[in-house]
Structure 1
Amino acid sequence: MTVTSVSRGRIEKTLISLGLIALSLMLVYTQWLQKWDHVIYDTHLKQWSHPAPDDIVIIAIDKKSLAKLGRWPWSRQVHARLIDILHQAGSKAVALNIIFSESDQSDHRADHILADALRQHGRVVLPVLPEQDQLHAQLTETLPIPILAAAAARLGHVDMELDEDGVNRHMFLKAGLGSAKWPQLAVAMLELEGINTTPSFNGHPPNPNLVNTWVRDYGALLPYAGPPGHFQRISYADVVLGNVPAETFRNKFVLVGATAAGLGDALPTPVSGFGQAMPGVEIQANILDSLRHNRSVQPLGLPWQFLLTGVLVLSSLFLYARLSPGGSLLVTAGLLALPLVFSIVLLREQHLWFPPSAALLGLGLSYPLWSWRRLVAATRSLLAQKERAQVTLHSIGDAVIATDAQGVVEYINPAAESLTGWTGKQAQGRAINTLFHVVNEQSREDITDPVSRCLQAGRSITYPDHSAVLSRDGSEERAIRATASPIRNQQGDVLGAVIVFNDVTETRRMAQQMEYQATHDALTELPNRILLQVQLQGAIERSIRSELQLVLLFVDLDRFKSVNDAFGHTIGDSLLKAAGMRLKDCSRKIDMVARFGGDEFVIVLENIHHEAQVTSIAAKVQKTLEQPYMIEERECFITASIGISLFPKDGQDAETLLKNADAAMYRAKEKGRNIAQYYSEEMNIHSKERLLLEHELRHAMERNQLVLHYQPQVDLKTGKVLAVEALLRWQHPHLGLIAPAEFISLAEETGLIVPIGQWVVQTATTQAKAWQTEGLPPLRVAINLSPRQFMEQRITGMIADILQRSGLEPCYLELEITENLIMKDLENAVATLQILKSMGVQLAIDDFGTGYSSLSNLKRFPIDRLKIDQSFVRDIATNPDDAAITLAIIAMARSMKLKVIAEGVETEEQLNYLKSHACDEMQGYYFSPPLPADKIAAILKAH
């Protein structure tokens, strides 16, 4: 190597180093990568959440409050009442995040009443904010009206700054027009407690040239405690209506503000999630929490950012100069983690933010640039000196062996040494087939020497797929991809051969793994639908050759959805795995068990001699699956509905057999579940009819084919109609009036029950209000909620919205729910019922006595009525058991101060019996069948 080449190499290294450092520092200064720094900061912030403190409470002006207290704005007497309640409760400090920039025009006394409440409390902070009436107009400070400003303990600004991506990450402890004179709202609250937060922040000296400019100072990054809803929220209406204990606010910071959509300010934050904003009052709670616990984050100063970034980038260049290419790659992987580590450590331990993107980019570019410089240097050396070819062969990753024309090894590079176990000295002079031992991975047979064929034919020979080279001692085997090519002189004569091969063991393993994942279910590790189709076709071909029967069992787990809904997907997944394992264990070795999807499995039975054998196997499967499952200390029970199809009787191909077995399974579920059902031809007809019915049901609402009939509910003491139950009917254009029993289950399965149920509630409440408008006595309208409808997360919001739109008072709406439905998810069901009850809606347990709720659970239900199932009423006068159950229900209701209504009353004998035992209300054909709305109106007018 000449002096000139050495000098040139040093110059290139220096230029690369200086260029990378200059680029990194420029990126730090210009903040061009700030978007990615925001992504890193936001990602870490989401992992850095902490529990919300117990002594910070948000009183939310939410949708519920607007529904109960009326349209916004409210009279300031309402706010005064709230301040008085908080004062009596002993709250520590209150931030009333509501703008009072104008007097209360609707109530001139209200401002004075509110001012008195503020003075009486003595620790209430009111907001200040900048406003601009028009584009390019002068900024103004919006303050509370003088009487309220004077009565408040402090004024605090609620100004927020959005970053260029529209996300709020910063807070400013002081701000104001012309000078930063107003403390932040949370700072003002802390000042009432004698806590001064500004000394630990860096501020700026006043600037007299900023008279008409909104000035922000003492800035910092805000480390949010958690996503929206993280802090304790209490509805404004609940507080002023006296539904919240005073202890809730004792010695606590209370922030009052809007959370209802469209009412208050809400900003995107790093922790909000996609498309979700955080109400301004909750941002103020986050600021208060961070300041009290010294969690606020200061951006690292620019000199320190320059220093850290420069050191990180320079360290990589320093190490590359002393390491091999392989070592450099490993070091690069480690170095790339350093900026993130520094950033996280500084953020968590020192509450300092170091933006790592510039350092990451500099480090990421350093390796390819350094490798490129090395490659250029290697190429120059290769062109300058022919003998350096061997050095190049030593440095490449591919294994290379060169032989002479007789197949005797002349050269072997380090990669080949590693794969064969032979060193260069040991290999030289040996025949290629003595050290390069290649076998077929699958058959284990030796592969005929391709090198000899290459030398004889004078052309390249590629080793077959699934080739593997054995090490010298046979202890290790590596999958390879290899080619033997002839070496020729200028005249074209074959001088030898070169074998180039590389290790593809890991690549082949990954390919096999991907193939397995494509054909097996990830949860149960059973064959999936793809592999089932392939293997089922093979089983059909074997059945044709053996002339023995092939059978499909299509297994569906009954009640799995109930377990999944009640206990969650984790337990549901564990149950599926356990069920799959049981199916595998109870099957023969020649049988195939596959997961078809969801809670459905398929078993392929081969070599079946008679149908009795199939029946026995199906019974064994059902018995195996119905044994209890103990999952995470919970005992779960399921059964199985099985559909059976036979080859060739029920189908000539895999698709038909699966379709028919599926149809048989659905027939088994219709018959009552936990049944094994053989396929028959009429099932296809039934399936087509069911599909047609489903299609027509999807259009029934838009075509106004759904109607409601109403059945009166009568007070036994007075004989008056107190209520009606809304009963759904389908007025089909060809089939006539269809009862709900024929289509409700289909609506449940397809999810149509949700829009249908919403239509029923809307129609029934609107009709009830219409009867009242006609001057008829107010009637309670009872509506039965389906399981799917009740489990909807927005059921309470839907009911509230419909009541508001219909104008019907909540006390005239009664929702009926079965006890089995409640017991599926007791805690969530009780919570939903309590919300509905708080709205004023009446609640009843339908079909009471047919479920399995205990008396202790029943006491938890905020219900008004028990509805005795008609199965007990039918034989009440002749069956002692039915009579005993009915009397027990009436007695239980009396003890719990609940009303009792008996349904299905059809005879005078039933009527007299129930009347003699003090049943409150009755419903049934004895009084009236279900009737259209106009006929109900006629009955009411007659009464």
Structure 2
Amino acid sequence: MKGFLEKAGTSRAALLMLAVALTLLIDFSGISWRLEQMVTDTVSSMIRPVPAGDIAIVAIDEKSLRKYGRWPWSRRLHARLLDRLKQAKSGPVVFDVLFADANGNDPAGDGMFATAVAAHGKVVLAMTSDEDPGDGEVTEVLPYEVFSDVAAAIGHTDMAVDRDGVVRGAYLLAGAGAPRWPVLALAALYLSQKYRVMEVPGETFDSRPPAHKGHWVRSNKVLFPFVQGPGGFPVYSFADVVEGSIEGKKLAGKTLFVGITAAAIRRTFSTPDMAAGAMSGVEIHANTLNALEKNLLVTNAQGLLRVAGLILLSVVAGLVLLFSRSQCILCRLVAAMIIVTVLSLIPVLALGVLLPVVPLWLSLAMVTYLLMRRRIGSLQKSSTRDALTGLCNRRAFDEHFRNMWRLNGRHQRMLFLMMIDVDHFKRFNDLMGHLKGDAALKEIGRYLASKARRAGDMACRLGGEEFMLLLDMDKQELRDVEAYAQQIVKGVRDLGIDCRDDRRKYRLTVSLGCAGMVPGPGHTRNELFDMADKALYQAKDAGRNQVSCACSEDLVSDVKADSAERVVSSGLSE
């Protein structure tokens, strides 16, 4: 993996592919889910949808509890409510109240309520689910048979609570064994004469049949912004409606949601806009209908559409990040994130399909890290490399020299330093031009780099036409070092870098001074450097194109004292 990342760091095409792969991997793993929800919630809380004018809430509030006493009430009160609403010519009436059992203490009240439901003709009753704590079996809790037989529709009250405890939308269909019951708001929409439901929208889930009928199945999940705060849906007290305190024209034609809002007995749910506080179930159902009527539904992209969308967005963002002309990597990152965020809004506005942007942001951040790492590595390399030849510069050479001096001193091994000077390079430059001179130095630099074969070896351009070669040789005898130096001089000559003037032809050669020393308390690196420098000048004074070697008194015992400094001629260059 590390090798792939290092390789990717050198290729923009590889980085682009890495950005796509990281986006898909992050999205598939789900590690960015919570951060994605935070982004979605922030955007959702900024959207303030206008409530539909045909939706209102009849609230079982504190005033109603004071009026009619402890909850639950006799069904006679609900029958009176329906009679009032029928007189006012209201639209569908949706009860977010469960009437699952007969009231044994007031059977006449049940009869009155059933009659009122049938008389109104557009009443939606609620159903829910009940899970057996023993075996996990889920059963449907439907309205009492007397009521369900006369109800216009039945809808489920299941809330789409995400794993972080926030309600961001609704499951339009749910049921035990199969999602056959519409949510209350969708059931009310079916009864409306102003809207026709051609197809149930939303995100579908695994369609395979469950292991048993007692499995609660949800489907067609949709997301939508919530109407919050002042200026929301009209709310009328249950008691005021029953007692006739509300004018009929305010109720005429409206879909009315009847539910509990009294703080003592209501159940509340967190929504994306936490500033507005938690919502009761009846308010969420009203918001669901509002989103259905105004087509404010958003569905998470699924399957191939999700994959294709993420690939397309990551490619676009990657192109901006990797191929932009701006030298500021962070500026390119910000531009790429803004562009990909704006582009992700297009499918939301056009198709109501939501693509996640956080996996894209995270993948872009990772690729940016690799770009920064490559930029820093390039700067570090350029600070230690000679721009012309690619060899290390004096700064890097000195640091390596120090490290090798300590290492060889610890193991009492000889360390050899070669100083190399290109012969008559000024003449070559004057005859061939500076471009040819630069090309010649590059070729010599490549050759010297090839001669630094061991881990402790290093070739360096000292400046101009001067080079250095630090050698940590396995063979410690002077004659072996001399032979290696002779190979270098011959190898440069064999490169065949020629020039000529009006009189004769010249071949580019080098002079080499070599020195060896065992690092220790009695010696310094400067001494070894001076020895190699003096040996180089002796080689140049002796006619160039040759080697001069010197060693300290600590050279291996088989080197004679009278050969501590000598010049080895290698012939003329012409």
Displacement after TM superposition at 1:291 (Å): 1.0
Using a 3 Å threshold, how does the CA distance of structure 1 residues 183 and 104 change in structure 2: closer, same or farther? same
Tell me, yes or no, if the aligned pair for 1:316 and 1:366 is still in contact at 8 Å: no
Partner residue of 2:268 out of 249, 263, 266: 266
Residue-by-residue CA offset, 1:868-922 (whole Å, 9 max, x unaligned): xxxxxxxxxxxxxxxxxxxxxxxxxxxxxxxxxxxxxxxxxxxxxxxxxxxxxxx
Displacement after TM superposition at 1:37 (Å): 1.0
For the aligned residue pairs, the C-alpha RMSD in angstroms reads 2.8
Which whole-Å CA distance do the structure 2 matches of 1:133 and 1:86 have between them? 38
Which whole-Å CA distance do the structure 1 matches of 2:151 and 2:32 have between them? 44
Using a 3 Å threshold, how does the CA distance of structure 1 residues 82 and 8 change in structure 2: closer, same or farther? closer
Using a 3 Å threshold, how does the CA distance of structure 1 residues 330 and 66 change in structure 2: closer, same or farther? same
Q: In the alignment, which residue of structure 2 is the partner of 1:308?
A: 309
SS in 2 for 1:289: helix
Which whole-Å CA distance do the structure 2 matches of 1:343 and 1:163 have between them? 22
Matched, 1:362 2:363: yes
Displacement after TM superposition at 1:127 (Å): 0.4
Q: In the alignment, which residue of structure 2 is the partner of 1:373?
A: 374
Displacement after TM superposition at 1:306 (Å): 2.9
Which whole-Å CA distance do the structure 1 matches of 2:93 and 2:71 have between them? 21
Displacement after TM superposition at 1:161 (Å): 2.2
Using a 3 Å threshold, how does the CA distance of structure 1 residues 323 and 244 change in structure 2: closer, same or farther? closer
Gaps of 5+ in 2: 1-5, 394-525, 528-574
Displacement after TM superposition at 1:381 (Å): 3.7
Which whole-Å CA distance do the structure 1 matches of 2:314 and 2:242 have between them? 61
Q: Mean Cα displacement is larger for which, 328-337 or 83-92?
A: 328-337
SS in 2 for 1:230: coil
Q: Which amino acid aligns with 1:29?
A: F
Using a 3 Å threshold, how does the CA distance of structure 1 residues 319 and 12 change in structure 2: closer, same or farther? same
SS in 1 for 2:236: strand
Which whole-Å CA distance do the structure 2 matches of 1:9 and 1:167 have between them? 40
Matched, 1:256 2:255: no
Q: Mean Cα displacement is larger for which, 313-322 or 121-130?
A: 313-322
SS in 2 for 1:151: coil
Which whole-Å CA distance do the structure 2 matches of 1:93 and 1:130 have between them? 24
Tell me, yes or no, if the aligned pair for 1:223 and 1:297 is still in contact at 8 Å: no
Q: In the alignment, which residue of structure 1 is the partner of 2:170?
A: 171
Q: In the alignment, which residue of structure 2 is the partner of 1:199?
A: 199
Which whole-Å CA distance do the structure 2 matches of 1:50 and 1:267 have between them? 19
Using a 3 Å threshold, how does the CA distance of structure 1 residues 182 and 228 change in structure 2: closer, same or farther? farther
Q: In the alignment, which residue of structure 1 is the partner of 2:295?
A: 294
Which whole-Å CA distance do the structure 1 matches of 2:99 and 2:271 have between them? 27
Displacement after TM superposition at 1:303 (Å): 2.9
SS in 2 for 1:118: helix
Using a 3 Å threshold, how does the CA distance of structure 1 residues 55 and 325 change in structure 2: closer, same or farther? closer
Using a 3 Å threshold, how does the CA distance of structure 1 residues 382 and 263 change in structure 2: closer, same or farther? same
Displacement after TM superposition at 1:302 (Å): 3.8
Q: Give the 5 Å matches for 1:491-570.
A: none
Displacement after TM superposition at 1:300 (Å): 1.6
Which whole-Å CA distance do the structure 2 matches of 1:190 and 1:98 have between them? 18
Which whole-Å CA distance do the structure 1 matches of 2:125 and 2:220 have between them? 20
Gaps of 5+ in 1: 1-6, 393-489, 492-943
Q: Give the 5 Å matches for 1:154-233.
A: 154-193=153-192, 195-197=195-197, 199-201=199-201, 207=209, 209-227=211-229, 230-233=232-235
Residue-by-residue CA offset, 1:806-831 (whole Å, 9 max, x unaligned): xxxxxxxxxxxxxxxxxxxxxxxxxx
Q: Which amino acid aligns with 1:35?
A: R
Matched, 1:350 2:351: yes
Which whole-Å CA distance do the structure 1 matches of 2:48 and 2:388 have between them? 62
Displacement after TM superposition at 1:317 (Å): 4.4
Which whole-Å CA distance do the structure 2 matches of 1:343 and 1:248 have between them? 41
Using a 3 Å threshold, how does the CA distance of structure 1 residues 331 and 64 change in structure 2: closer, same or farther? same
Q: Which amino acid aligns with 1:152?
A: A
Percent identical among aligned pairs is 30
Which whole-Å CA distance do the structure 2 matches of 1:291 and 1:320 have between them? 39
Q: In the alignment, which residue of structure 2 is the partner of 1:241?
A: 243
Tell me, yes or no, if the aligned pair for 1:228 and 1:278 is still in contact at 8 Å: no
Which whole-Å CA distance do the structure 2 matches of 1:10 and 1:366 have between them? 9
Q: Give the 5 Å matches for 1:316-327.
A: 316-323=317-324, 326-327=327-328
Q: Which amino acid aligns with 1:273?
A: A
Displacement after TM superposition at 1:356 (Å): 0.5
Q: In the alignment, which residue of structure 2 is the partner of 1:110?
A: 109
SS in 2 for 1:224: coil
Which whole-Å CA distance do the structure 1 matches of 2:78 and 2:330 have between them? 66
Using a 3 Å threshold, how does the CA distance of structure 1 residues 57 and 279 change in structure 2: closer, same or farther? same
Using a 3 Å threshold, how does the CA distance of structure 1 residues 208 and 317 change in structure 2: closer, same or farther? closer
Q: Give the 5 Å matches for 1:271-286.
A: 271-273=273-275, 276-286=277-287
Which whole-Å CA distance do the structure 2 matches of 1:325 and 1:29 have between them? 32
Q: In the alignment, which residue of structure 2 is the partner of 1:139?
A: 138
Tell me, yes or no, if the aligned pair for 2:16 and 2:319 is still in contact at 8 Å: no
Tell me, yes or no, if the aligned pair for 2:173 and 2:182 is still in contact at 8 Å: yes
Tell me, yes or no, if the aligned pair for 2:154 and 2:181 is still in contact at 8 Å: yes
Q: Which amino acid aligns with 1:270?
A: P
Q: In the alignment, which residue of structure 2 is the partner of 1:46?
A: 45
Q: Which amino acid aligns with 1:267?
A: F
Total equivalences in the alignment:
385
Displacement after TM superposition at 1:349 (Å): 4.0
User: TM-score scaled by structure 1?
Assistant: 0.39
Which whole-Å CA distance do the structure 2 matches of 1:69 and 1:14 have between them? 73
Q: In the alignment, which residue of structure 2 is the partner of 1:23?
A: 22
Tell me, yes or no, if the aligned pair for 2:169 and 2:288 is still in contact at 8 Å: no
Residue-by-residue CA offset, 1:623-668 (whole Å, 9 max, x unaligned): xxxxxxxxxxxxxxxxxxxxxxxxxxxxxxxxxxxxxxxxxxxxxx
Displacement after TM superposition at 1:30 (Å): 1.6
Which whole-Å CA distance do the structure 2 matches of 1:136 and 1:339 have between them? 47
Tell me, yes or no, if the aligned pair for 1:381 and 1:388 is still in contact at 8 Å: no
Which whole-Å CA distance do the structure 2 matches of 1:307 and 1:327 have between them? 30
Q: Which amino acid aligns with 2:299?
A: Q
Q: In the alignment, which residue of structure 2 is the partner of 1:857?
A: none
